[in-house]
Structure 1
Amino acid sequence: MDRNRGTSEPAELNDLLGDWSSAGGPLYRRLTDAFVRAVRSGDLRPGDRLPPERPLADALAVSRATVVAAYDALRGSGLVETTRGSGTRVARGAAAHRTPPDGRVPGGQATAVIQRLLTQPPDVISLGQAAEAGGPDLGRALLDLVREGLRELLRDAGYHPAGLPALRAAIADHHGAHGLPTTPDQVVVTTGATQAVILAARLLLGRGATAVVESPGWPGCLDVLRATGSRLVGVGLDSDGMEIDRFAAALAAHRPALLYVMPTFHNPTGTVMSAGRRRRVAELAAEHGVPILEDSAHAAALAPGQAPPAIAAHPAGGTVVTVGSLAKAVWGGLRIGWIRAPRGAVARLARLKALDDLGSPLLDQALAARLLPTLAAFAPDRERLRQERLATMARLLAEHLPEWRWQPPQGGSVLWIRLPAGTDARVYAQLALRYGAEVVPGATMDPTGAHDDHLRLPFSFVPDTAAALVGRLAAAWAALPR
């Protein structure tokens, strides 16, 4: 929404209305209710002009009659008014119709993904999550903790804002085995990787600052950076990672306060930044005095040597803050992440962590301390499972959606799908919801428009769920107006 003009473009309104089409009832009533929520929440404000019926219908993948009926219902309720020559606007008195908050997540590119985590309708398969169930190794470690370590753990007072010492030591050893010498006092344990990114962004960014990011990127992390009041500048990727010439140009043109990168198993492209590219990124950032926030949340499951050393391992002399997590390596329900940083930064990050929650749950940390040293041993089995799931998804796509194109990812558990030329993934996403599949379109990961014809497709589902998902996607694709 451009507040200076007071006019909403169809694509912007599509994002603002969220997943309205997955509700029950006639389409026009679902759309009407979505407009009512947007007005009552303040996302649409008095005087904002709504798009004409035909462009909005095209953006939402509905008939013009559906939009006309919704606008008529809104006019009947007094929420909008239509004036010849001026179009349809939110009524001046609409703000008086506000209701208490309805529990929906406000603002940001990741709104729909996060909202789905809160609502979790049983009949929708979400492409916003690339997660698997916990494995038997997790269960065994939990039983061992109960039998052998619980009594001693319960003698502890329970407050460790920077993290349980045993886990900080295990994380330091983990990084050391992967070519990044680390001591326990360089580690802060967090409640998942998202909190790690939040704390690092609070430390390194401020209102009005600029952050350079990879484009495309995961919207949940980009929203965290935006929440500091910072402006984001995107730099594209090639097969080796962030394009170095464009990164150098962004450094010169914008004088950023931070570089945020995901060098190992980039989300959503699956790219692994090459060792040479990591070195150049570290050198350029150090030369310009720009700290690096290195998100390695997808790398913990790797055995040593499976990926190049972290950017923080390059002796360029700059500040590098590295984020890790067990969510992808072990289980999404084990909300343990961490930050590896220079000692001075760790002290400040620990204070921020203490202000948030006084420390992550100790039982989870004790379990993580037992699991972390075993991850390398399970890496071959996890890779075999990943390849099997990838092969299953590739076969299903070739059979049911042969027009879709993608490059085999170097790692991770998602495909970066390119739709046929001229297809807007946002329009397709609205239609897919009606068939029970939540699609994350490229526009949420790159607001420049360069990836509007892309979508993110996890392949970590069990075979039966993968088959059901592709069936729903294919049915929505067949129904998409060309």
Structure 2
Amino acid sequence: MDRFRDPADLLAVLGDWMTGRGPLYRKLAAALRHAVQDGALLPGDRLPSERDLAGLLAVSRSTVVAAYDQLRSEGLVDSRQGSGTRVTERPGTPRPDGRVRGGTATPIFQRLIDGPGDLISLAFATEPAVDGLQECLLDLVRDDLPALTSDTGYHPRGLPVLLEALAERFTAMGLPTSTDQLLVTTGATQALVLAAQLYLRPGATVIVESPSWAGCLDVFRASGATLKGIPLDEEGMDVGALGKALADSPAALVYVTPTFHNPTGTLMSASRRRRIAEIAHRHEVPVLEDIAYAARLRDEQFPAPLAAFAHGAEVLTVGSLAKVVWVGLRIGWIRAPAAITERLARLKALADLGSPVLDQALAARLLPRLTELSQERAPALRRRLEHLCAQLSKGLPEWRWRVPDGGSALWVDLSGVDAQVFAQVALRHGVEVVPGAAMDPSGAHDSFLRVPYTFEEETLTELVHRLRGAWADLRGHGPAAVAAPQGG
């Protein structure tokens, strides 16, 4: 079976190939050459046709023809009538252990690996650390460091003082919690990975929101799971569609992001949380709720976590400090029934024997102030959202979006234009976007993209300027042309 029968599957391999200097065909050839040498493209892999790849990359067909010609001249690919263009049967670059390198990442994880470069990357919505973090760290070093460094350092479940702070916070949120129901993780992503290890086997079905956060979908896919998307309305996951999906076939897990949904920014209502818990209980399927995305725009009271409405349903709740405090403080947690937490703790111990103790101690100091810190950030986040909306309304009036309830990004509809094609044009204008199809297990929402508003206003203005240039390029000129290469 051809791995790249769908040309879109090649995008993660190519990355930001359009950046830098030189003719487009040479940059495309260089990206494909690197993929072959790195093992991301394997011997025998069939590449898309010149026409299909040109359409996806928003370049002229002659650009792809010239790139393939260059690779053929180097012996990296060959083309045969009826079988297309394939990577030649040459060995990949070996690792020190003798294995061939390979594997790809979505644009989100790939951007972390490659670094931002000169692009404005929309792959992540991040902000600098909160103002009080440095003072809190200095207080920790002054007051607690001697006791912490004389400790064994091994706390697979989590530092006791942090577990106690988490239990108090969950209880204050309307979800009574004891420390034996909690596990500290190295960020929310590890919590998702541990839950996937516990519940998922190859071929298992995970029900997710459609759209959903691409990084989380990757975690479930890595476990060999099949994803089934459920649409959203203004209150969250559609309970009618959820009930029908579970009645039609069993699922191993239901994954939701109620506060706030990523990428739409929807705040799930309390009644919707209750209904999802009831449906999950009826069909005996566990629910994994992710509330790590809880960046607020206003001073408002959130509904209690979905687990507060469980009434017999098995609900796991994931959170972290990343969005409120700093993404560099890699402390997350998972709250679950005590028996489930025990099993997760064993998986955690196998993974790393416990998260860093100093980070946990710092998190314990910050946790009682989490609501206050979130409220302090809200006015600046709201100003940036308003600025971005004003700039988009002025510069790109064809685009459509719903103002989010919270979170860190707009979910923008490009009025029917394929966001994967637009993404390639945007790269030429210095912007990396994540097409909506990457956030939908079915590949739908292909005319959407996620636009974070966590940048400073000056950067947001420049971002819209670049996006406007890319939009004009795509709508006004079509695919970019390339001059045919001269000589060899």
TM bucket (normalised to shorter chain) is: over 0.9
Partner of 1:426: 420
Partner of 2:76: 79
Residues 212 and 259, structure 1, Cα contact 8 Å, conserved in 2: yes
Distance 1:265 1:306 in 2: 13
Residues 52 and 87, structure 1, Cα contact 8 Å, conserved in 2: no
1:207 to 2:211 alignment = no
Partner of 2:481: none
Q: Report deviation, 1:379.
A: 3.4
Distance 1:6 1:159 in 2: 43
Long gaps (5+) in structure 1 = none
Residues 265 and 407, structure 2, Cα contact 8 Å, conserved in 1: yes
Q: Report deviation, 1:101.
A: 5.9
Distance 1:468 1:243 in 2: 37
Partner of 1:90: 86
Distance 2:299 2:273 in 1: 17
Residues 303 and 377, structure 1, Cα contact 8 Å, conserved in 2: no
Partner of 1:197: 192
How is 1:331-480 mapped onto 2 (pairs within 5 angstroms)?
Answer: 331-421=326-416, 423-480=417-474
Distance 2:296 2:329 in 1: 14
- CA, structure 1 residues 31+313, in 2 after alignment: closer, same or farther (shift >3 Å)? same
Return the match for 1:38 from 35, 40, 50.
Answer: 35
Residues 94 and 101, structure 2, Cα contact 8 Å, conserved in 1: no
Residues 459 and 466, structure 1, Cα contact 8 Å, conserved in 2: yes
Q: What is the root-mean-square deviation in Å for CA atoms of aligned residues?
A: 2.2
Partner of 1:136: helix, strand, or coil?
Answer: coil
1:280-333 deviations in whole A, cap 9, x for unaligned? 100111111100111111238799962111110014201111101000010111
- CA, structure 1 residues 228+33, in 2 after alignment: closer, same or farther (shift >3 Å)? same
- CA, structure 1 residues 10+319, in 2 after alignment: closer, same or farther (shift >3 Å)? same
Partner of 1:13: 10
Residues 407 and 416, structure 1, Cα contact 8 Å, conserved in 2: yes
Distance 1:418 1:301 in 2: 23
Residues 400 and 413, structure 2, Cα contact 8 Å, conserved in 1: yes
Distance 2:20 2:441 in 1: 26
Partner of 1:338: helix, strand, or coil?
Answer: strand
- CA, structure 1 residues 222+165, in 2 after alignment: closer, same or farther (shift >3 Å)? same
Distance 2:3 2:391 in 1: 45
Partner of 1:96: helix, strand, or coil?
Answer: coil
TM-score between the two structures when normalised by the length of structure 2:
0.92
Distance 1:451 1:138 in 2: 38
Residues 403 and 420, structure 1, Cα contact 8 Å, conserved in 2: yes
1:26 to 2:23 alignment = yes
Partner of 1:263: helix, strand, or coil?
Answer: coil
Distance 2:3 2:380 in 1: 51
Return the match for 2:254 from 243, 256, 259.
Answer: 259
Long gaps (5+) in structure 2 = 479-488
1:180 to 2:166 alignment = no
Q: Report deviation, 1:43.
A: 4.4
Partner of 1:141: helix, strand, or coil?
Answer: helix
Aligned residue pairs, count: 473
Distance 2:447 2:323 in 1: 27
1:413-464 deviations in whole A, cap 9, x for unaligned? 100000022x110111111112211101001111424200000000011112
TM-score between the two structures when normalised by the length of structure 1:
0.93
Q: Report deviation, 1:216.
A: 0.8
How is 1:231-242 mapped onto 2 (pairs within 5 angstroms)?
Answer: 231-242=226-237
1:116 to 2:95 alignment = no
Distance 1:323 1:251 in 2: 23
How is 1:133-152 mapped onto 2 (pairs within 5 angstroms)?
Answer: 133-152=128-147
How is 1:261-280 mapped onto 2 (pairs within 5 angstroms)?
Answer: 261-280=256-275
Which amino acid counterpart does residue 60 of structure 2 have in structure 1? S
Q: Report deviation, 1:399.
A: 2.0
